[in-house]
Chain A
């Protein structure tokens, strides 16, 4: 979502886009080493395609999908962010069975403002399991669902850090 917010930045969007911008600038400066997987690209494409479909009330062409994807790849290239293939990671370590452990280890978190309970879900668990498989120290997110993630990885809550 960080990439989506940054690419959709406009004068009308401030809170999420400015925090994403600050975090990405820190990666650019070398404060963090950015790592993503091909599953991150799938989520980026899905969210961007969804928002575009809703805004225009119509389909997104294959050519447009390619454009969206190319922009992302150019950004990753120039930012020096490491990209791992999720399939290769899953062949080296038990990523999918780790998802179950991630869900079991995590604790629920009650939102301070919405007063709703948040917990790790299926897709979140897969992101965490993939991050664990590359020995990542933290997972950068705006999503409260990740707050209760346990084990050797910590959530980097961008809404609080920036």
Chain B
């Protein structure tokens, strides 16, 4: 059955006067949902999906850019160099810090 013929059937059902003596057993809308989906323009469905996913983000304070080579190595242990008392920190101290973070 073509989409046009389905439209015709649906239009007939919608336009029909309800009869008190012979009421419809089922609402004409009961089975309409599947055929109505086909009337949607596929492109508009695609657009609808896109609209849902579109989010407006504020401008970042610092935008992304390629990293300067060697940055990770340059900053490794940078705070222990500034604050000598932090040179004593060992693995257990870091684990304790992680545990304290859990308590937040």
Interface residues of A (CB under 8 A from B): 1, 4-10, 12-17, 21, 24-25, 27-30, 33-35, 38, 43, 47-48, 50-52, 55-56, 64, 67-68, 71, 74-85, 88-89, 91-93, 118, 121-124, 133-135, 142-143, 145
Contacts and interface: CB of A to CB of B under 8 A. Distances in A.
A10 B65 CA distance: 29
Contact of B91 (A14, A27, A85): A14
A84 B58 contact: yes
Interface SS of A by simple majority:
helix
A78 B85 contact: no
A122 to B, nearest CB: 7
Given A84-B58, A88-B58, A145-B102, A55 B79 contact: no
B9 interface: no
Given A52-B86, A55-B89, A79-B67, A9 B80 contact: yes
Contact of A91 (B58, B65, B78, B82): B58
B69 interface: yes
Given A56-B85, A92-B56, 13 more contacts: A8-B89, A10-B89, A12-B91, A21-B72, A28-B67, A29-B67, A47-B100, A51-B97, A55-B86, A78-B75, A80-B64, A83-B60, A133-B57
Interface of B: 55-69, 71-72, 74-80, 82-83, 85-91, 93-95, 97-98, 100-102, 104
A3 B80 CA distance: 13
Contact of B85 (A9, A52, A83): A52
B101 to A, nearest CB: 6
